Chain A
Amino acid sequence: MKSVAPPLPGWLAVLRQRLFATWLDTVVSLLCLYVVWRISVPLVDWLLVEANWKGASREDCTSSGACWVFIRARFAQFMYGQYPVPERWRVDLLGMLAAFAGAALSWRVLPRRRELTIAVALVLPPLGIWLLHGGFGLKIVETREWGGLMLTLFLAIYAGLIAVPLGILLALGRRSRLPLIRFASIVFIEFWRGVPIITVIFLASLLLPLIMPTGFNVDRLARAVIGLAFVIAAYMAEAVRGGLQALPDGQTEAAQALGLGYWRIMRLIVLPQALRISLPAMTNEFISLFKSTTLVLIVSIFDLLGIAQAALADPAWVGMNMEAYVFAGAIYWFACFGLSQWSRSREKRLQKAHGR
């Protein structure tokens, strides 16, 4: 597509070439400028210029713009839901631990990085449940008191922790030599991919208590995590399968010739390469899992969007719909956009490394 570059065009020449090359281009550009102007001016006005920032109640919102006072007043709820105030340090501590572990493990020259990753993956999740739920010396906080952004992250991360290993096993199962295992994996994957997530969340919350022995109670939140995890595992499996298929057969054959068994071939040769290839696709599935966590609203679990929705019912803050949605939406947007940019940059680096 590259044309010969003209001799050092000034910014005017660039503008002319990109926006005003022909008369049709000029008309289109002017039309676009008009649309941008008509949308952005009132938007910026509402978001920033005319917005209310200071105060404590609805009465402090006097100018015509957004009432960010509302977000400030309810900020803690958006983050923690009804989590008891004196116990909130536990959530913060867990968040800091997770952030520290994530930062340390993504440091490329960390010694014994692989072993440390496995150790963190084994220790941190149970530790997290203990910190959030309590027991063993900590005050117990029932899951119905959890909420807000913290709950959204909990759902996404714990469902992801189940979904990734399960998805890898299903992908291997789908490519297995054994017809029965292959068939069972295909049925599992296609079933969960074929039904809407909303029905799965219904199904998990209704059926899980029914199929467990009498007296064995599955926590409401755990049901949602399991339901989400199964669906995402099915999608993850397809992402991993893409990576497995991209790997040349010679890799497995060479490993077999060396006398390695199935699991060692998978662990040492196939999966490290296949997972690297399918990481972008898996990240995309994780993004869609993150977006799907909002559906727990349907079984009255109040994640970030649920808290925003519930805040609208507060008589002290009538008519704050837009502020609540914009705030919650912005958090989702930055999280998903950040993840997808990260996965894109990884993909590019990978392509460079393979000289493609």
Chain B
Amino acid sequence: MKAFLRDRKVRDIFWQVLASVALVAVVVFFVKNASDNMVKAGIASGFNFLWRDSGIEVPFNLTGYKPSDTIWALLWTGIVNTLLVSVASVFLATVVGFTVGLMRLSRNWLLSTLAAVYIEFVRNIPLLFFVLFWYFGVLAALPTPKESFDFLGLIFLNRRGLSIPTPNDVSGFHLALLAVLVLVVVQIVLARWARARQARTGQDFPVWVVGFVLCGALPLMLFVWAGALTSWDLPILRGFNYRGGFVLVPEFVALFMALSTYTAGFIAEVVRGGIQSVRQGQLDAARALGLTPGRVVRLVVIPQAMPVIIPPITSQYLNLIKNSSFGAAIAYPEIVAVFMGSALVATGQAIEIIAITLGIYLTIGIAVSIFMNWYNARHKLVTR
């Protein structure tokens, strides 16, 4: 009997059974309380509310949503707004982050100190502070529409937001986008062919120059051409406000600026760490082989730094998407504000709404981590 009690397998099973019983008991206790409380408060349950009319006004939407649409459409509008501000901020944060990260590594003491000051400044202050600062501090201090900042008579910045012109006919842009996709495929095929040829015959092919033309210059020309073909809807001052074009509301601008400048500080540190992880011996060896500085960076530094940089940068992107929920603090209509805020107040169905909201963020997170595992498996540095 004593030997039986000391047996590891028996003890393992015992503890696990005990843990699961405790867990189930806690869950049952909470669920029972919740259903009792809901019955008492007269709150409905189930997901039928999603197809009810919402009656909620959303001042900024790209989906053509109206208050007479369903709550489901309201949720979709929130998702689109979250993705819009996230994608725009990821783009700017990456550009600023890489720039500041490289500045931090500069030999020039002044430049590197400036970058360090920026990084330490944004990393040690709460993001909510930046969001409120941009919204109530900077944008509220902007001039009225009549005295807007005017960029070339096309873009206007005032306290009602940023007015930008929109094209009346987007079909040209669709064609250009299609052409760009084709060009990228051509470039990939070309790069493979060039590498295979170099391995076979040793002949070099200027892949980067061709790539710059195919994927950089040519698409730019296509878009300019598409822009020239269509007529534009320009913002024009009528009465007290600008009409025409598209207005990016101040909530969007504030959230966008706060998210991208804040995340850029973290990305800069990641970039610095990644580049510093390439050992000095690698650089010395590359120089000893007679590679030009540009080739040292392209063939030795980047291939070794990128696998170190990409995973943490991906989690920074994920953080940024989660942090876009800070928009709720300034009533930018993203998922949390319109769904967990307005829709919850209108319907009272807390559990369902919370479950859906969390589910959306978890889905995004799982998608990103699947991508990350795939990337890590593919780019694992082969060392001997």
Contacts and interface: CB of A to CB of B under 8 A. Distances in A.
B156 interface: no
B110 A199 contact: no
B326 A198 contact: yes
B342 to A, nearest CB: 13
Contact of B351 (A179, A210, A287, A337): A210
B358 to A, nearest CB: 5
A223 B311 CA distance: 34
Nearest to B340: A202
A332 B16 contact: no
A159 to B, nearest CB: 15
A197 B128 CA distance: 12
Contact of A202 (B20, B108, B354, B362): B354
A340 B126 CA distance: 14
B132 A214 contact: no
Interface in B121-144: 121, 123-129, 132-133, 136-137, 140-141
Contact of A206 (B109, B280, B350, B361): B350
Given A18-B108, A336-B124, A340-B124, A211 B34 contact: yes
A165 B121 CA distance: 31
Contact of A333 (B111, B125, B328): B125
Interface string A273-315: 0000000000000010001101101100000010001001000
B367 to A, nearest CB: 11
Given A198-B326, A210-B37, A337-B124, A321 B140 contact: yes
Contacts of A18: 107-109
A196 B124 contact: no
Contacts of B30: 211
Interface stretch (A5-13, A25-33, A80-88, A102-110): A25-33
A199 B354 contact: yes
A194 B108 contact: no
B23 interface: yes
A191 interface: yes
A199 B351 contact: no
A207 interface: yes
B108 A29 contact: yes
Nearest to B12: A178
Assign chain A's interface to a size class: 35 or more
Interface residues on B, range: 35 or more
B336 A210 contact: no
Contacts of B61: none
B57 interface: no
Interface stretch (A46-54, A115-123, A322-330): A322-330
Contact of A214 (B33, B125, B350): B33
| Most A Cβ at <10 Å: residue of B129, B323, B350 | B129
Interface string A178-220: 1111001000000101111111001100110111111000000
A353 interface: no
Given A202-B336, A210-B33, A321-B137, A294 B126 contact: yes
A294 B328 CA distance: 13
B320 to A, nearest CB: 11
B166 interface: no
Contacts of A328: 129
Given A295-B128, A329-B133, A191 B362 contact: yes
Interface string A216-238: 00000000000000000000000
Interface string B10-44: 00100110011001000000110110111010000
Contact of B136 (A199, A298, A312, A337): A312
A38 interface: no
A54 to B, nearest CB: 25
B325 interface: yes
Nearest to B362: A194
A28 B111 contact: yes
A214 B128 contact: no
B142 to A, nearest CB: 13
Given A29-B111, A298-B329, A312-B136, A291 B127 contact: yes
B291 interface: no
A33 B38 contact: no
B379 to A, nearest CB: 22
A313 B16 CA distance: 55
B169 interface: no
Contacts of A207: 34, 350-351, 354
Contacts of A297: 128, 329
B32 to A, nearest CB: 9
A328 B365 CA distance: 32
Contacts of A295: 128, 326, 329
B114 interface: yes
Interface in B342-370: 344, 350-351, 354, 357-358, 361-362, 365-366
20 contacts: A18-B109, A19-B108, A36-B110, A177-B12, A178-B12, A198-B325, A202-B340, A209-B37, A210-B33, A211-B33, A213-B33, A214-B40, A291-B125, A291-B126, A297-B128, A321-B140, A321-B141, A325-B129, A332-B125, A336-B125
Given A196-B361, A294-B129, A329-B125, 4 more contacts: A181-B19, A194-B361, A195-B361, A332-B124
3 tightest Cβ-Cβ pairs between the two chains A and B: A336-B124, A291-B126, A211-B30
Interface of B: 12, 15-16, 19-20, 23, 30-31, 33-34, 36-38, 40, 106-111, 114, 120-121, 123-129, 132-133, 136-137, 140-141, 280, 322-323, 325-326, 328-329, 336, 340, 344, 350-351, 354, 357-358, 361-362, 365-366
